[in-house]
């Protein structure tokens, strides 16, 4: 189990096939598997010439591109540990991650160098320069580093508090990718659009999954609906991973027409709950495509649960599984437990815990935090959920996002789904705010629909709408209206930012 194995397999099977394509502002660069492996092996030699050794950390700061993919693979080829960094972080956050990782080298996109602290404390080189250095060098031999060896450090958080570097081994990432492929196999002829950032486990895992089967990857530096439409229509893209906010903007784009995107064969979504109305629109637009929801986290190397396409078809909705994240994937064990760690009966809400070969080694240089994340060998996810008698898992909320109002638990996802179903609401996020009478009260932050009238009557209309669908204690007591919600690079609403804004 080493993460370059798929490259060797692809060389044997289809060396001249296109492996990697990058598109950006009219620029298109393509590499066959032969060309890709040659570039990776020479860049590995260039890293070694700069003093990088097996086990050394190499920090990477760049948007998705063929150059970033090559650098990641060059690290694995020589046995180094890539640490891809969030391109949306501030200077202090980047400075912390560079110091914490102990990186021996920083590879940075030239356009992003200004984001770095004045004294990054790490030798730095731009991606084009590394490729230029590599051209005059002999190819390095693949170290075939794998198994329990550290493969990547992915930093989570970074918006508040101390970021955590998740340590994923080659076996962790490989196991997650193979488990996904076993549940939902993809063909070597598939073309996956890597628009989810490669510093996020969803993007990195999808890259590895394509390498394993010898499929083609298409990279673009950032998500732009128009470019995604073009990639599907004329670039041959068959597979995408989109968070709900991405799908919404894609389908709301004025150039979106279903006939342009019929080449898409599979759409995965996750990271945030999928609004039912949005999913319905997508199913109508792509009647022949496979839709599936994936649930996982950085600490599990990717998805550990998948709700398969058959549960998203309209005829299957009566089974009530549309909003499940599916059953545990191959190799993953999942339970829902109470506060003491005891397994709960079906349909009772508790904390989701996970164990299996894809679960992380721990948090880099944070032994106390690592110990707190595990109990009796099970990873504590911090997610609240329930599991039905057939083993289908349902996410109800992040435990830290759960609102306790008058002693009753309010799960924000349920309230948000009710609000999203109102025609005047484009997006909704719910947080708890301090309340003298109830302890916490439900506050809704609303992004109005484009044609909505946001007058003084709208809050009352939304309250009445919720009362028809929810118990009274779950209904929002206050509202605020914003042009957009604060989002992480992974497409998740930043509830911590919302709470701070609402409580000012």
Element (H, E) at 246: helix 244-252
**Mean pLDDT (the chain, rounded):** 90
The predicted-structure confidence for 211-224, as pLDDT tens digits, reads as follows 999 999 999 998 89
Q: Which of 152-156, 252-256, 400-404 bottoms out in mean pLDDT, i.e. has the lowest?
A: 400-404
* Residue with tokens 């309209």, as numbered in its chain: 314
What pLDDT, on a 0 to 100 scale, did the predictor assign at position 183? Answer: 87
Query: What pLDDT is recorded for position 23?
Result: 93
pLDDT at position 274 over 80 = no
pLDDT greater than 50 at residue 158:
no
pLDDT of 184 strictly over 70: yes
Q: What percent of the chain has pLDDT over 90?
A: 62
| pLDDT tens-digit readout, 109-147 | 999 999 898 888 899 999 888 899 999 899 999 999 999
- The reply to whether CATH 3.40.190.10 applies to domain 402-502 is no
pLDDT on residue 494:
84
Is 302 within 8 Å of 330 (Cβ atoms)?
Answer: no
Helix, coil or strand: residue 292: strand
- For 182-191, 226-235, 342-351, 407-416, which range has the lowest pLDDT when averaged over its residues? 407-416
420 in helix, strand or coil?
Answer: helix
Q: For residue 4, what are its two tokens?
A: 């370059």
Q: Which tens digits make up the pLDDT trace of 422-434?
A: 999 998 999 988 8
Average pLDDT over residues 487-501: 78
CATH class belonging to 5-222: alpha beta
Predicted pLDDT at 273: 64
38's tokens: 């040659």
Classify domain 328-398 at the CATH superfamily level.
Answer: Luciferase; Domain 3 (2.30.38.10)
pLDDT of residue 49: 96
String of DSSP letters for 22-56: EEETTEEEEEEHHHHHHHHHHHHHHHHHTT--TT-
The pLDDT tens digits for 239-257 are: 999 887 788 889 989 999 9
Structural domain spans, the chain: 5-222, 328-398, 402-502
Region 260-286: mean pLDDT is: 83
What mean pLDDT do residues 152-170 have?
80
Q: Which of 19-33, 94-108, 402-416, 438-452 has the lowest mean pLDDT?
A: 402-416
Task: Indicate if the pLDDT at residue 160 is higher than 50.
Answer: no
Inform me whether the pLDDT recorded for 318 exceeds 50: yes
Q: What average pLDDT does range 457-471 have in this prediction?
A: 90
Tell me the C-alpha distance between 422 and 186, whole Å.
Answer: 37
DSSP per-residue string spanning 141-210? PP----TTSEEEEEEE--SSS--EEEEEEHHHHHHHHHHHHHHS---TT-EEEE-S-TTSHHHHHHHHHH
């Amino acid at each position: 189990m080493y993460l370059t194995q798929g490259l060797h397999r692809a060389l044997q099977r289809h060396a001249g096939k296109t492996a990697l394509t990058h598109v950006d502002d009219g620029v298109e660069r393509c590499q066959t598997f032969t060309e890709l492996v040659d570039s990776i092996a020479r860049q590995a030699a260039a890293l070694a010439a700069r003093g990088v050794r097996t086990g050394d950390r190499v920090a990477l700061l760049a948007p998705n591109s063929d150059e970033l993919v090559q650098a990641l693979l060059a690290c694995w080829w020589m046995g180094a540990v890539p640490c891809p960094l969030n391109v949306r972080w501030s200077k202090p956050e980047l400075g912390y991650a560079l110091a914490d990782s102990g990186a021996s080298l920083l590879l940075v996109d030239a356009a992003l160098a200004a984001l770095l602290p004045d004294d990054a404390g790490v030798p730095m080189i731009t991606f084009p320069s590394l490729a230029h250095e590599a051209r005059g060098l002999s190819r390095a031999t693949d170290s075939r580093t794998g198994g329990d060896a550290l493969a990547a450090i992915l930093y989570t958080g970074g918006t508040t508090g101390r970021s955590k570097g998740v340590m994923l081994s080659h076996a962790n990432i490989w196991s997650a990718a193979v488990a996904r492929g076993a549940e939902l196999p993809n063909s070597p002829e598939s073309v996956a659009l890597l628009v989810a950032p490669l510093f996020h486990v969803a993007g990195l895992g999808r890259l590895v999954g394509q390498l394993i089967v010898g499929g083609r990857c298409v990279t673009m530096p950032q998500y732009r609906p128009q470019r995604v439409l073009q990639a599907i229509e004329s670039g041959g893209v068959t597979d995408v991973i989109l968070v709900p906010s991405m799908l919404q903007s894609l389908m709301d784009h004025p150039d979106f027409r279903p006939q342009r995107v019929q080449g898409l064969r599979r759409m995965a979504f996750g990271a945030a709950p999928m609004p039912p109305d949005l999913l319905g629109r997508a199913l109508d637009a792509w009647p022949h495509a496979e839709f599936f929801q994936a649930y996982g986290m950085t600490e599990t190397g990717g998805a550990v649960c998948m709700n398969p396409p058959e549960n998203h078809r309209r005829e299957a909705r009566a089974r009530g599984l549309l909003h499940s994240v599916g059953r545990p994937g191959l190799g993953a064990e999942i339970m829902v437990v109470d506060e003491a760690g005891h397994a709960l009966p079906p349909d009772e809400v508790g904390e989701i815990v996970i164990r299996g070969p894809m679960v992380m080694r721990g948090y880099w240089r944070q032994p106390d935090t690592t110990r707190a994340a595990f109990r009796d060998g099970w990873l504590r996810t911090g997610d609240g959920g329930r599991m039905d008698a057939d083993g289908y898992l349902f996410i109800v909320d992040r435990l830290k996002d759960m609102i306790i109002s008058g002693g009753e638990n309010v799960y924000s996802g349920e309230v948000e789904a009710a609000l999203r179903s109102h025609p005047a609401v484009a997006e909704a996020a719910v947080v708890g705010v301090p309340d003298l009478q109830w302890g916490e009260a439900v506050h809704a932050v609303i992004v109005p629909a484009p044609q909505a009238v946001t007058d003084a009557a709208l809050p009352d209309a939304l309250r009445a709408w919720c009362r028809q669908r929810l118990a009274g204690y779950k209904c929002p007591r206050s509202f605020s209206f914003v042009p957009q919600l604060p989002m992480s690079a992974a497409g998740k609403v930043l509830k911590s930012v919302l709470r701070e804004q609402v409580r000012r």
